[in-house]
């Protein structure tokens, strides 16, 4: 009988791993991309759409659900799985990053972070324990510790003091929900900014705590791709090899390939759904923007190599028309395709690791996406 948190590696190709992570709502095949469901839903898509495209796990948003409709209300409805009728695994972030990135006014202390609701301006406070209680109420399969994600350009002294507080918070989170005390598993989050020695220090401190997985935080915060990859390749291979590695908030198709090549197993990013809103679509030949006039009378599918509902049933001309007319269907069809593309890319990555052809797959997409 497998237990939530079990992580079995089936194949490797360089640092890349093909594994299975067990959760209380089923097994997850990694490497994996996790669609972001901000308010308990992946915008414009139904659970049926997500199952059709084989989304194995989605992200719930602790910060937003806490403020509205309330994590306690969701708990009284049986938790987020029941409330949103999503039967597969859910990962929730701790909400700290959303507070830091969405709120100007907030107060940070050893105790936690104080902030005002963007809905009605009311005052709120997240301690590490509170962040875990919210995720317990939501019933997510994978919980993230409350951490501080320092901004890009933070100096070494601040970054060092911050990672030490993040470690103390991580310990408080684990003590508040000890391993095995329920079906939910918990990941620690490695910080340390862009200082390699501080990244190692954060990891050394966190690996003393018995987490079922470890995330790389503090990246994709405005740095260059080179700076992100530099830290990524430095720290990912040093993380416990027998536990899942989750790179938070990343990224483009090339970032996913680079992350897998560094040994990362899990990714989340708002890009596929957010880009769908502005007509930027990912295809096997690279990125295109559907609003370009050249597509006005183009009767070819968005991506001839894509098997998704959008590509099988509509032309670029029609998708451009929907976009220009600001039709709701534009957002839905574009989101469906972009997420399908990301999930299919991860499926290709899993197969490539199994048959030792990951380097070739990476080179193929680097050529298609070279023009950025």
Ligand X SMILES: CNc1nc2c(CCNCC3CCCCC3)c3nc(N)[nH]c(=O)c3cc2[nH]1
Can you give the binding site for ligand X, defined by CB under 6 A? 36, 38, 59, 61, 93-94, 96-97, 144, 147, 149, 189, 217-221, 248-249, 268, 270
Kindly state whether residue 28 participates in binding Zn ion, applying the rule CB under 5 A.
Answer: no
Q: Which is nearer to Zn ion, 136 or 337 (CB)?
A: 337
How far is 32 from 27, CA to CA, in rounded Å?
12
Q: Is 306 annotated as a binding residue?
A: yes
Q: From edge to edge, which strands make up the β-sheet containing 266-268?
A: 32-34, 266-268, 245-247, 213-216, 185-190, 142-144, 90-92, 58-60
Q: How far is the CB of 29 from Zn ion (least distance, A)?
A: 21
Q: How many residues does the chain have?
A: 372
Residues 243 and 8: beta-carbon distance below 8 Å: no
Write the CA distances from 234 to 6, 194, 250, 281, integer angstroms: 25, 10, 17, 31
Q: Is 321 annotated as a binding residue?
A: no
DSSP code for 29: E
Q: How far is the CB of 338 from Zn ion (least distance, A)?
A: 8
Q: Is 308 annotated as a binding residue?
A: yes
Query: Per DSSP, which regions of 192-341 are E strands?
Result: 213-216, 245-247, 266-268, 280-283, 286-289
Q: How far is the CB of 51 from Zn ion (least distance, A)?
A: 17
Q: Omega before 69 cis (within 30°)?
A: yes
Could you say which of ligand X, Zn ion, none residue 147 binds, taking C-beta under 5 to 8 angstroms by partner kind?
ligand X
Could you say which of ligand X, Zn ion, none residue 289 binds, taking C-beta under 5 to 8 angstroms by partner kind?
none
Q: Which of residues 62-91 bind Zn ion (CB under 5 A)?
A: none
Q: Which is nearer to ligand X, 163 or 311 (CB)?
A: 163
Q: Which is nearer to Zn ion, 67 or 343 (CB)?
A: 343
Could you say which of ligand X, Zn ion, none residue 217 binds, taking C-beta under 5 to 8 angstroms by partner kind?
ligand X
Q: How far is the CB of 151 from ligand X (least distance, A)?
A: 11
Could you say which of ligand X, Zn ion, none residue 97 binds, taking C-beta under 5 to 8 angstroms by partner kind?
ligand X
Kindly state whether residue 134 participates in binding Zn ion, applying the rule CB under 5 A.
Answer: no
| Axis crossing angle, helix 253-261 with helix 328-354, rounded to the nearest 10 | 20
Considering 13, 141, 255, 268, which one is annotated as catalytic? 268
Write the CA distances from 173 to 130, 177, 263, integer angstroms: 9, 6, 26
Helix spans in 36-190 (H): 47-52, 62-67, 71-76, 80-83, 96-102, 128-138, 156-176
Of 144, 170, 308, 349, which lies in the binding site for Zn ion, with binding defined by CB under 5 A? Answer: 308
Q: Is 93 annotated as a binding residue?
A: yes
Could you say which of Zn ion, ligand X, none residue 257 binds, taking C-beta under 5 to 8 angstroms by partner kind?
none
Q: Which is nearer to ligand X, 18 or 201 (CB)?
A: 201
User: Where does residue 288 rank: exposed (0-12), middle (13-18), buried (19+ CB within 10 A)?
Assistant: middle
Using CB under 5 A as the binding criterion, the count of chain residues that bind Zn ion stands at 5
How far is 29 from 47, CA to CA, in rounded Å?
19
Q: Is 96 annotated as a binding residue?
A: yes
Residue 157 is a catalytic residue? no
Residue 268 is a catalytic residue? yes
Q: How far is the CB of 214 from ligand X (least distance, A)?
A: 12
Considering 93, 133, 255, 303, which one is annotated as catalytic? 93
Of 50, 306, 343, 361, which lies in the binding site for Zn ion, with binding defined by CB under 5 A? Answer: 306
Residues 199 and 230: beta-carbon distance below 8 Å: no
Residues 139 and 181: beta-carbon distance below 8 Å: no
Q: Is 140 annotated as a binding residue?
A: no
Q: Is 159 helix (H, G, I), strand (E, B) or coil?
A: helix
Kindly state whether residue 311 participates in binding Zn ion, applying the rule CB under 5 A.
Answer: yes
Phi-psi region for residue 174, left (φ > 0), alpha (ψ -120 to 50) or beta? alpha
Convert 76-91 to b/e letters by CB count within 10 Å (16 or more is b): eeebbbebbebebbbb
Kindly state whether residue 174 participates in binding Zn ion, applying the rule CB under 5 A.
Answer: no
Q: Which residues are catalytic?
A: 93, 268
- Annotated binding-site residue numbers for substrate: 93-97, 147, 191, 218
- Annotated binding-site residue numbers for Zn(2+): 306, 308, 311, 337
**Positions in the binding site for Zn ion (CB under 5 A):** 306, 308, 310-311, 337
């Amino acid at each position: 009988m497998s237990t939530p948190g079990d992580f079995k590696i089936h194949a490797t190709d360089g640092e890349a791993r093909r594994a299975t992570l067990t959760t209380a709502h089923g097994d997850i095949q990694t490497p994996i991309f996790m669609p972001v469901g901000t308010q308990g839903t992946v915008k414009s898509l139904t659970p049926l759409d997500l199952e059709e495209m084989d989304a194995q796990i989605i992200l719930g948003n602790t910060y937003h659900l806490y403020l509205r409709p309330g994590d306690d209300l969701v708990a009284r409805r049986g938790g987020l799985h029941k409330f949103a009728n999503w039967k597969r695994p859910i990962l929730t972030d701790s909400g700290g990053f959303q507070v830091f990135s969405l709120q100007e006014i907030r107060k940070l202390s050893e105790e936690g972070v104080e902030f005002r609701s963007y809905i009605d301006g009311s005052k709120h406070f997240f301690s590490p324990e509170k962040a875990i209680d919210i995720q317990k109420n939501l019933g997510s399969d994978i919980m993230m510790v409350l951490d501080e994600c320092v901004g890009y350009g933070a100096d070494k002294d601040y970054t060092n003091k911050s990672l030490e507080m993040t470690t103390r918070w991580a310990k408080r989170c684990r003590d508040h929900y000890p391993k095995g005390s329920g079906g939910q598993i918990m990941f620690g989050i490695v910080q340390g900014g862009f200082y390699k020695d501080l990244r190692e220090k954060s990891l050394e401190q966190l690996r003393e705590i018995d987490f079922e997985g470890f995330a790389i935080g503090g990246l994709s915060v405005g740095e260059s791709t080179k700076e992100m990859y530099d830290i990524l390749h430095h720290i990912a291979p040093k993380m416990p090899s027998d536990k899942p590695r989750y790179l938070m908030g990343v990224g483009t198709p090339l970032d996913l390939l680079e992350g897998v090549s560094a040994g990362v197993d899990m990714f989340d990013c708002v890009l596929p759904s957010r880009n769908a809103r502005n007509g930027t679509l990912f295809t096997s030949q690279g990125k295109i923007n559907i609003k370009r006039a050249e597509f006005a009378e183009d009767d070819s599918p968005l991506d001839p190599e894509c098997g998704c509902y959008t590509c099988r049933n509509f032309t670029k001309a029609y998708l451009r028309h929907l976009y220009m007319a600001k039709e709701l269907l534009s957002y839905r069809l574009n989101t469906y395709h972009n997420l399908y593309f990301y999930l299919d890319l991860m499926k290709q990555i899993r197969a490539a690791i199994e048959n030792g052809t990951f380097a070739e797959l990476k080179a193929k997409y680097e050529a298609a996406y070279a023009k950025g």
